[in-house]
Amino acid sequence: MYKVIFTLVLAVASFMGLQAQEFQGMAVYESKTSTSDFKTRMEGNKNMTPDMQKIIEERMKKMFEKTFILNFNKTASIYKEEEKLEASTQAGGGFRMMSSFAGGGGTFYKNVKDKQYSNDKEFMGKEFLVKDSLTSLAWKMEAETRVIGGYTCYKATAVKKPSATDFRNMRPRKEDADKKEGAKPADDKKTNFLDAVEVPKEIVITAWYTPEIPVSQGPEGYWGLPGLILEVNDGRTIILCSKIVLNPKDKVEIKSVIKGKVVSQKEYDEAVMKKMEEFREMNQGRGGREGGMQIRFGN
């Protein structure tokens, strides 16, 4: 109880301090998604050479290890992947498609006062501007604390339905049929990549926020806590703040972008899922030729 009261007092004091000035902050986040389960599948695949495994691992590392910049004020923020000079031109069609929805993509703007967000995304050569209401998670406040970057952070957890169009949420599909007693694994089982993965019905989110920076902001679409979220962990992806600058000398204009076809999140997800299904059917017709995403499971 003492910790909770102290947290509230600290948040109020800090908030009053921020009111005295035109507050703005910048936070750098490192995002990393574990691919160990996919690596295990590849290592058990006799049809995949060590060189092929190495190439795929390098491509997945580029897809799932990214740096983002969050610029925020008291009510709004913009979250965007850090621009890199090096562009990936070696990935096949399947990897390019997955990279476009493996986290990030355009500028994610959210206004916690209006509870609205927008995100400009490019998918399969088309530009979209996703505009919708922010999802409010039922955060469970914990008393556990830890220090991140010199800031005292408190733990909060929530259960979330993962997005089917965010590749980071996908897990290798369990082959229950092959595990049944007496069942024999297929001698040469071809599986389209999109058929070999699945999205769980729900995931547990663990967040660490600091009342010392009393803004209800965080990376990506995370928000709703009495302090800036410095770390988010969904069991597979970790987004960790590595640097914070309060009231930087060079201010950034925090506003929503306006380019792209305006769609709701549901409309965008449906468009992506439709394209994924078309890609899956096209890939099956290719029979594993170059540019497809055919992989083989089984010995």
- Of the chain, the end-to-end C-alpha distance in Å amounts to 57
Residue 284 pLDDT > 70, yes or no?
no
The residue among 12 and 241 whose pLDDT is bigger is 241
* Backbone torsion region of residue 187, taken as left when φ is above 0, otherwise alpha when ψ lies between -120 and 50, otherwise beta: alpha
Cβ count within 10 A of residue 13: 12
Q: Model confidence over 214-240: pLDDT tens digits?
A: 999 999 999 999 999 999 999 889 999
How far apart (Å, rounded) are the C-alpha atoms in residues 120 and 22? 27
Confidence of residue 169 (pLDDT cuts 50, 70, 90): confident
Residue 5 pLDDT > 60, yes or no?
no
Give the tokens for residue 25: 């902050």
Q: Label the pairing between strands 151-160 and 140-148.
A: antiparallel
Q: What is residue 195's predicted lDDT score, i.e. its pLDDT?
A: 65
Give the tokens for residue 103: 């986290």
Residue 89 pLDDT > 80, yes or no?
no
Residue 244 pLDDT > 90, yes or no?
yes
Note the pTM of the prediction, 2 decimals: 0.75
Domain count, the chain: 1
Q: Are 208 and 155 in contact (CB under 8 A)?
A: yes
Q: Are 221 and 110 in contact (CB under 8 A)?
A: yes
Q: Model confidence over 132-148: pLDDT tens digits?
A: 999 999 999 999 999 99
What is the DSSP track for 45-64? -TTS-HHHHHHHHHHHHHHH
Note down the domain range covering 162: 2-297
Q: What is residue 38's predicted lDDT score, i.e. its pLDDT?
A: 57
Average pLDDT, rounded, for the chain: 77
Residue 280 pLDDT > 60, yes or no?
yes
Q: What is residue 162's predicted lDDT score, i.e. its pLDDT?
A: 86
Torsion of CA 38, 40, 41, 44, to 10 degrees: 160
Torsion of CA 110, 116, 122, 124, to 10 degrees: 140
For helices 50-64 and 36-43, what crossing angle results, to 10°?
A: 170
Residue 34 pLDDT > 70, yes or no?
yes
Indicate the burial class of 93 (C-beta count within 10 angstroms; 0-12, 13-18, 19 or more). Answer: middle
Q: What is residue 163's predicted lDDT score, i.e. its pLDDT?
A: 84
The residue among 47 and 115 whose pLDDT is bigger is 115
Q: Which residues, at least 6 apart from 200, have a Cβ–Cβ distance to it below 8 Å?
A: 162, 169, 171
